[in-house]
Amino acid sequence: MGDPAGVGPEIVARTFADEGFRAENRALVVGDTGVMERAVSLLSLPLEVKGISEPEEATFEEGTVDVVAASELPRDLPFGELDARAGEAAYRYLERAIELASAGRVAAIATAPLNKEAMHLAGHRYPGHTEILAGLTGTRDYAMMLVTPELKVIHVSTHVALKEAVERATTERELAVIRLAHASLRKLGVEHPRVAVAGLNPHAGENGLFGTEDAERIRPAVESAADEGIDASGPWPPDTVMMRARRGEFDIVVVQYHDQGHIPIKLMGFDTGVNVTVGLPFFRTSVDHGTAFDIAGTGKADHKSMRAALDLARTLAEAGEE
């Protein structure tokens, strides 16, 4: 359910109220029953919230939101404010969902946004969802993949300073992310994924004029991936490779740092972009936006990204069963 003081409960409730979603619902919410009831009431939705203790108790009845309770917050928890109670609850929701997915009791996780500052106030010093998921599952090789109908990108690094992002662009990490890109697209039904690798420096270094990292660290990883049979190429100039992928020349772009991937994705698909953590022992998707404290509690939050995240989670889970 994400941070209960943000828009998470509202976009989850709106998704459950979608006519198409209601008819095929096999989702349950890990969160707070009272907070979900408040969201349903705020939006005047024709939904019934049902608290359950274990996922096996879910009935998935049309018009019903099954909630596995992982906290009990006051009904008057303020909207749109940093609150350690909300940060603690958001962490516990994710922790419980990870336990269920790790045990195979749910097939995938779709997450609403949490607030890093609120979570830090509660004592959980993680940069975000991805790092919690990796830490609690003991996953070493993982990456953030962003998906829109027009473009897919996967990150070498995400929530770190730009200086650290440069340091993290090692040959070993590049090769690991290329492999994750290839494997992830195979799961999404792409038989022969074409993986483009964006350069780190302007013009991908331009033969050493603008830095040597592309030639010394990134190109060897691309060559190693190609030797393994992966259709990988690059490093390509980052200012044109996104356009080429959008036109259909590549299926996914390996990007070197947070903004290199997030800016084009949010420009082209802010409402429908989905964040996927790849490399985990289960499938996890997420909305590609934050807690939006400025509109929390107003009923204005758009749920399209949440719906897209749930739909993709279902697709990935079904592919994993085949």
Q: Report helix, strand and coil shares of the chain as percent, to nearest 5.
A: 45, 15, 40
Q: Is 220 exposed, middle or buried (0-12, 13-18, 19+ CB in 10 A)?
A: middle
pLDDT of residue 270: 63
Give domain status of residue 316, yes or no. Answer: no
Residue 306, both tokens: 């949440």
Half-sphere exposure of 200 (CA within 13 A, CB side): 28
Give residue-wise pLDDT tens across range 224-273. 999 999 999 999 999 999 999 999 999 999 999 999 999 998 888 666 77
Tell me: do 273 and 156 sit in the same domain.
yes
Instruction: Look up the domain containing 255 and give its range.
Output: 141-279
Tell me: do 146 and 257 sit in the same domain.
yes
Amino acid at 72: E
Q: N- to C-terminal Cα distance for the chain?
A: 28
Give domain status of residue 176, yes or no. Answer: yes
Q: What is the DSSP letter of 145?
A: E
Tell me: do 94 and 125 sit in the same domain.
yes
Domain count, the chain: 2
Give domain status of residue 287, yes or no. Answer: no
Tell me: do 154 and 184 sit in the same domain.
yes
> Which residues are 283's β-sheet partners?
108
Give domain status of residue 130, yes or no. Answer: yes
Give residue-wise pLDDT tens across range 17-27. 998 787 678 89
Tell me: do 124 and 156 sit in the same domain.
no
pLDDT over 60 (residue 322)? no
Tell me: do 151 and 118 sit in the same domain.
no
Region 312-320 average pLDDT:
83
DSSP letters, 156-190, are: S--SS-HHHHHHH--HHHHHHHHHHHHHHHHHTT-
Query: 154: pLDDT confidence band, cut at 50, 70 and 90?
Result: very high
Give domain status of residue 297, yes or no. Answer: no
Among 100, 119, 139, residue at a domain's last position: 139
Give domain status of residue 135, yes or no. Answer: yes
Tell me: do 120 and 6 sit in the same domain.
yes
CATH of the domain at 172: 3.40.718.10
Give domain status of residue 244, yes or no. Answer: yes
Q: Which alpha helices (H) appear in the chain, and where do they start and end?
A: 8-17, 19-23, 33-42, 84-102, 116-121, 129-137, 162-168, 171-187, 213, 219-227, 238-246, 258-269, 304-321
Question: CA 287 from chain center: how many Å?
Answer: 6
Tell me: do 13 and 99 sit in the same domain.
yes
pLDDT over 90 (residue 223)? yes
| φ/ψ of residue 220, rounded to 5 | -60, -35
Give domain status of residue 35, yes or no. Answer: yes
Give residue-wise pLDDT tens across range 174-210. 999 999 999 999 988 899 999 999 999 999 989 889 9
pLDDT of residue 36: 96
